[in-house]
Structure 1
Amino acid sequence: MDKPLIVSHPNIMMGKPVVTGTRITVELILEKLAAGETIDQILAAHPRLSREAIFAALAFARDALRAGVIYPLAEDAA
C-alpha cells in the first residue's frame, strides 16, 4: 500500500491537511494556484513538494467538496 501524500494530524498545523513530511497545507497550495501561480512556480518556492503532491492536494480538495455538505455563498459573489 502506498503512503498517502496528504495527511492530517492534530499536532501539525492545527490538524489541517498537509503534504506528508511537510508543513505545507492543502489550503496554501490552493491559495497559490488561485492567485495565479503555476505549478512550476510553487515547486520552485517549495523544493520539498512534488508535482504528484500538488495533484494529490487538488484531489483531496475535490473529494472534500464532494461530501454531502452545502456551502452557502455570498449573494454578491457572482
Structure 2
Amino acid sequence: MEGKVINIDPEILGGTPVFFGTRVPIKNLFDYLETGDSIETFLEDFDGVSKGQVVKVLEMSQKLIETSTHILNENFA
C-alpha cells in the first residue's frame, strides 16, 4: 500500500492518530487484537479501514519495536 496510512490532525479527534481517510483511532486495532479479536473482525467493524492499512500499521509497529530495543531493555533492567 502506497501513501499515508496514519493521520494526526488536531481537528480530528483532538490529534489522536487515526487510519488515514477515517476517524478510526489506530489504538482501536490494538484494543481488538489485545482482546483476541481477529483482524477480519476489526475490518468488519470498521469498514472504512483497509486490510492494507492494517498490515502497514502492524509493520510500522514492528519496526518501531525493533529499533527501540535500548528503550525496552531499560524498562526491564
Q: TM-score, normalised by structure 1?
A: 0.71
Cα distance in structure 1, aligned partners of 2:7 and 2:70: 21
The one-letter code of the counterpart of 1:6 is: I
Overall identity of the aligned pairs, in % = 22
Off by >6 Å, runs of 4+ in structure 1: none
RMSD: 2.1
Structure 2, unaligned runs of 5 or more:
none
| Equivalent pairs, count | 72
The one-letter code of the counterpart of 1:50 is: S
Instruction: Show CA shifts across 1:23-42 (max 9, x none).
Output: 11111111111111101111
Match of 2:40 in 1: 40
Where does 1:44-63 land on structure 2 (aligned, <5 Å)?
44-63=44-63
Q: Which has the higher helix share?
A: 2
Q: Give the SS at the match of 1:4.
A: coil
Shift of 1:48: 1.0
The one-letter code of the counterpart of 1:7 is: N
The one-letter code of the counterpart of 1:46 is: F
Instruction: Show CA shifts across 1:15-61 (max 9, x none).
Output: 12111111111111111111111011111111111111111222343
Structure 1, unaligned runs of 5 or more:
74-78
Q: TM-score, normalised by structure 2?
A: 0.72
Match of 1:12 in 2: 12
